[in-house]
Amino acid sequence: MFENKIIIFDFDSTFIKVETIDELAKIILKNDKDKTDKLKLIEKITNLAMNGEINFSSALQKRIEILSIKRDDIKKIINVLSTLISDSIKRNKNFIKSFSNQIWIVSGGFKEIIVPIVSDYGIEEERILANEFVYHNNTVIGCEESKLLFQNKGKIKAIERQNLEGIKIIIGDGYTDYEVFQNGAAHHFVYYCENINRSKISHLAKYKANSFEELIDIIKIF
């Protein structure tokens, strides 16, 4: 069924139910007097970036600057997100582990957070492409700008650099996932809407999956 196929998953709102940066904000801003306004701003920036309406790297940097993330916050968010794996992915954990050597995670999120979560599904660090934090005195001041995922069209560049052989299928909920297919870095795009409905992306997609089970049925036809 998956012979000669490379399955490329987005992480936020696809492999997990939520957006990492939004959940980080809830933790960090818990006692902030401007919590409501900051959360609304971060959510707005997230949605604009996911719909392809603003530059992804600048959107990421803006949100990091608002939050002032500490190392301890990273440990907390890993624990939280470990409980927020997409329901259908949890149901198919053993199945995913059985072909994990064909799965890649390509995300505009953060490698330090993603690795410990997806490793439980057999997905090794070498197949995880994501942003990497830069610290100063235990505070995140940005992401490593030399990494491809921090750049515009970073997913496209990162996937192309891997020179992956086989039928490449990108699965995600955002415009940057669609762009990978649109620019020829993947053969197929599947809009994954188990956790969120982005109408703009939905209208662009030929294939849509509301669950991992539906995704399997779609992959079978490629």
pLDDT in tens, 128-156: 999 999 999 999 998 998 889 988 899 99
Record the pTM.
Answer: 0.93
The counts of H helices and E strands in the chain are: 11, 8
pLDDT tens figures, 15-70: 999 999 989 999 999 999 999 999 999 989 988 887 888 887 888 888 888 998 99
How far is Cα 173 from Cα 100, in angstroms, rounded to an integer? 21
Q: Is residue 196 within 8 Å of residue 174, measured between CB atoms?
A: no
CA 198 to chain centroid: 15
DSSP label at 212? H
* All domains in the chain, ordered by first residue: 5-221 (3.40.50.1000)
Q: Give residue 17's pLDDT.
A: 98
Q: Is residue 3 within 8 Å of residue 99, measured between CB atoms?
A: no
pLDDT tens figures, 95-132: 999 999 999 999 999 999 999 999 999 999 999 999 99
H or E stretch including 86? Answer: none
Q: Which of 92, 173, 148 is nearest to 103 (CA)?
A: 92
